[in-house]
A = this chain, B = another copy of it.
Amino acid sequence: MKKLIFTILLFAFLTSFVNGQRKTVHIPDIPGYVTLKCDFHMHTVFSDGDVWPTVRIDEALRDGLDAIAITDHLEYTPKKDFLPVDFNAAWKIGELYAKERNLILVHGTEITRKMPPGHFNALFITDASLIAKDSAWDAFEAAAKQGAFLQWNHPGWKSQQPDGIPRMYDIHKKLIKNGWLHGIEFFNDSEFYPLVFNFCKEYNLALMGNSDVHGTISEIYTEPEYTNRPMTLVFAKERNHDSLKEAMFAGRTLVYFRDKLAGKEEYAKPFFYQCISVGKTYYQDNKNLYFEVTNNSDIPFYLINGVANAPASLTLSANSVTRIVVSKKVTAPLNYDVKNVMTGENEVLRVELRY
């Protein structure tokens, strides 16, 4: 009898997510570091994007990110008939707005050239307008002067490499030699470039993963089972701007999109073991042991190539507990390849489930 009233009142609150809230993304820290969820490539009306800079900040909060960079093009400003060119506009508009919302906003811009050298984001800069130069090399030099973290964007983008194969040209090697290049995009939007692994390993660069969003995130990334958009996971000493910067120059990143992770084994391995916990045997019969593996992260893991008498493959779905039945005959360590955690152009992570 009281029931109806209560029901009615509650409906006023039905909205499941309130504007300005940050969603909890279940991505663990690793020992010694906090894991910052970041997207360092996006556009607004100040270049060829569709939205005002504050939208990028609201989207990032909704997606549970810790840090973003808005990186409008220096050389492509198609809205200039209606909107005067101001290369620092997004930064000016967003700086306080982000601060009040506990989002780390990184000052950035995109140097936008034909291949070679292609497109590059300069991050942690102080004034984008000083990087707008006629020659690409002068732009790189200006970015370097500002202490920028320079990221080579989508090196295998088909508009610039029709066969989709990233190639290192002399100018890239010269950038590396000068110490001016620090990371390369492995994920960009819905694409990824396995060869980037080789470049990053050879030259000790950070793998990067970003959305490069021009429209609105919620219309592009619509699969409910995944966190929206590609992201760079940065392993920082603390959750703040300067720690983020230090971690990126140190190359402590993994990249993540949908159900795929990629990065150096030294980060991928502890990350996997923070996501996963193996329980004790809860039941046994004559032939088998039964135990559970809990995946506390939003990322599913697909384990393949199991040892004899154990399950050949296992899907450890996101946020779930998987029952494992192992024959008592198994004596070998329960090793698996994690099919969706890449640690090299042709390598995936090898793990052990210790039960």
A: residues with CB less than 8 A from B are 1-3, 5-11, 13, 15-18, 20-24, 45-46, 50-52, 54-55, 62, 64, 79, 82-84, 86, 89, 93, 99-102, 156, 163-165, 190-195, 215-216, 218-219, 224-225, 259-260, 282-283, 290, 292, 294-296, 300, 302, 315, 317-323, 325, 339-340, 342, 345-346
Pick from B89, B102, B283: contact of A282, CB under 8 Å: B102
A2 to B283, CA, bound (A): 42
Contacts of A224 in B (CB 8 A): 224
* Given A225-B16, A302-B13: A319 and B3 interface contact (C-beta under 8 Å): no
| 21 pairs, A vs B, C-beta closer than 8 Å | A1-B195, A3-B191, A3-B194, A7-B11, A13-B300, A13-B302, A13-B315, A18-B317, A20-B323, A21-B323, A23-B320, A24-B294, A45-B45, A50-B54, A50-B55, A51-B55, A51-B216, A62-B219, A82-B84, A100-B283, A216-B219
Pick from B5, B193, B218: contact of A216, CB under 8 Å: B218
Contacts of A11 in B (CB 8 A): 7-8, 11, 190
Does the CB pair B24–A320 fall under 8 Å? yes
A16 to B20, CA, bound (A): 28
Contacts of A5 in B (CB 8 A): 6
A133 to B315, CA, bound (A): 42
Min C-beta distance of A216 to chain B, whole Å: 5
User: Quick one: closest B residue to A83, CB to CB?
Assistant: B83
User: Quick one: closest B residue to A319, CB to CB?
Assistant: B24
User: Quick one: closest B residue to A342, CB to CB?
Assistant: B6
User: Quick one: closest B residue to A295, CB to CB?
Assistant: B24
Apart from A6-B194, A13-B340, what 16 extra A-B contacts exist at CB < 8 Å? A1-B164, A1-B195, A2-B345, A6-B9, A8-B11, A10-B302, A16-B300, A18-B317, A18-B320, A23-B320, A50-B55, A52-B79, A62-B219, A82-B86, A102-B323, A218-B218
User: Quick one: closest B residue to A318, CB to CB?
Assistant: B16
Pick from B13, B21, B216, B290: contact of A102, CB under 8 Å: B290
A338 to B346, CA, bound (A): 35
A308 to B234, CA, bound (A): 40
Contacts of A100 in B (CB 8 A): 283, 290, 323, 325
Contacts of A195 in B (CB 8 A): 1-2
